[in-house]
Structure 1
């Protein structure tokens, strides 16, 4: 299995746009031919669009874009810009002489970073869709990861900056990749290890605090509800929607391997999956590759982030 750029998976184009001053942004994954789509939502506080449509028993099997954004519920507006872009390109679900682009979305809460009035709007969504024509992806404080942070359990002043990340792998003609914008309640760890990457940080004492231990110590206190990890797995594997739904669910194992705690009532953890259905492949193999890719994408989102808005990051604490 070899590592490949996320942008090398044929049929998909990725674009990003952000407001660095306001601290928010949007990342768009587009398949103009229509990709089989699925979703698995585990967090207790999601902000999403068109997830019910992805139930295999419903009519639409193909989608044209997944949008990951900041802005919480306000940020859901950005997908309307993506819809407009796709309509102008003649991309969508055909109903007689009408074309309706199918765009799904999940948003994370970044309103406590930068400006609380800043969120991805239709114009930013349209710009990200336009930028996808260059098919360039940057990890770190870009796109949906612009305002992402972790470690907010003890207040924003104890959080650390994270962002968006990616990873992708190839075996023969089979390609599987993942993108993750990490704004989790829990700490970020290297997969299946005790190596902590980001979480609660006390700037006064310059010490890192374990979130799970903090939860136990704060048993009688209210928990902050500003957390979500939103992801998209993309592949060229030939899977039907039911199989792809299983893939999205199994890919949540990556969150369990890298985020502690995860899927809390305060999280909106959501994993989308999209496939261009080009390469026959075993679902178990694709799932193992997806879990590996998403695990690395989550760590990449933390390690690629830079200090912003007064928050330290892994890069500022662990690199000379």
Structure 2
């Protein structure tokens, strides 16, 4: 067991990133298709093809899901994924070709690295070409390359966060896994301690929760903090159940 999303058989994960510009893309490929639902929340979500996942709509399976940096510009990366899968003959058969069904979601990382370098078609294709069912890199990779936490006192005091994955398997063989790019406003806690968040001038961490309570009337943090991810399981679900 790898204890990450690759414990779900039939999935591959590929990632590509620009480490200098601090942005990237992660693709999860299901070559044989996977039933998929979606939950979109927040003040300014950036998504593509998620309406198709509504249980009342006809399409049951997707061939890939894309997580990307670059804000709305990063949605272009999914086109590179579609091109790659079409060339491999993977997608929904419409007679004249196969159309890959590739929902995607983006996070806002324009304020951390180079705002004018975003995931594009070439980076989406590169992520597909790097896809593996054996190796998953976590941290500053793919969509997590430009992800940050701890924005209470502005981007100059934030921490990079990244992308991470975990999986659990029960005694009867049910596996549930997550792959998450964390681009949050607040802090990351472990065992009761802040391990990433808003930095004080002396290098220690401020407590975002306490800071929000003290300055609630003056804070504005909507639209720039987006945690995106994928939950996967080996349990057979309908699209409605997945949603």
TM-score by length of 2: 0.93
How far did residue 226 of structure 1 move? 1.8
Q: Partners in 2 of 1:244 and 1:238 — Cα distance? A: 9
Q: Is the alpha carbon distance of 1:135 and 1:107 closer, same or farther for their aligned partners in structure 2, counting shifts above 3 Å?
A: farther
CA contact (8 A) 2:194 2:205 kept: no
1:72 corresponding residue in structure 2: 71
Q: Which contiguous aligned blocks of 4+ residues in structure 1 show a shift greater than 6 angstroms? A: none
Are 2:60 and 1:57 equivalent residues in the alignment?
no
Give the alignment of 1:284-303 within 5 angstroms. Answer: none
Give the alignment of 1:15-94 within 5 angstroms. Answer: 15-94=14-93
CA contact (8 A) 1:3 1:170 kept: no
1:175-224 C-alpha deviation (Å, 9 max, x unpaired): 2211000010122223xx6432322111x233321212222222332413
Q: Partners in 2 of 1:43 and 1:85 — Cα distance? A: 31
- RMSD after superposition: 1.7
2:203 corresponding residue in structure 1: 206
Are 2:214 and 1:217 equivalent residues in the alignment?
yes
Give the alignment of 1:180-195 within 5 angstroms. Answer: 180-190=180-190, 194-195=192-193
1:71-120 C-alpha deviation (Å, 9 max, x unpaired): 01010000000000010011111123331110011111111122111111
> Which range moved further: 38-47 or 217-226?
217-226
Give the alignment of 1:92-241 within 5 angstroms. Answer: 92-133=91-132, 135-171=134-170, 172-190=172-190, 194-202=192-200, 204-224=201-221, 225-241=223-239
Number of residue pairs matched by the alignment: 241
Q: Partners in 2 of 1:135 and 1:72 — Cα distance? A: 29
CA contact (8 A) 1:3 1:169 kept: no
SS in 2 for 1:40: coil
How far did residue 134 of structure 1 move? 6.0
Q: Partners in 2 of 1:45 and 1:197 — Cα distance? A: 27
How far did residue 135 of structure 1 move? 4.7
Q: Is the alpha carbon distance of 1:134 and 1:237 closer, same or farther for their aligned partners in structure 2, counting shifts above 3 Å?
A: closer
Q: Partners in 2 of 1:153 and 1:76 — Cα distance? A: 27
SS in 1 for 2:131: helix
Q: Partners in 2 of 1:165 and 1:64 — Cα distance? A: 21
CA contact (8 A) 1:150 1:183 kept: yes
Q: Is the alpha carbon distance of 1:28 and 1:3 closer, same or farther for their aligned partners in structure 2, counting shifts above 3 Å?
A: closer
**Structure with greater proportional helix content:** 1
SS in 1 for 2:90: coil
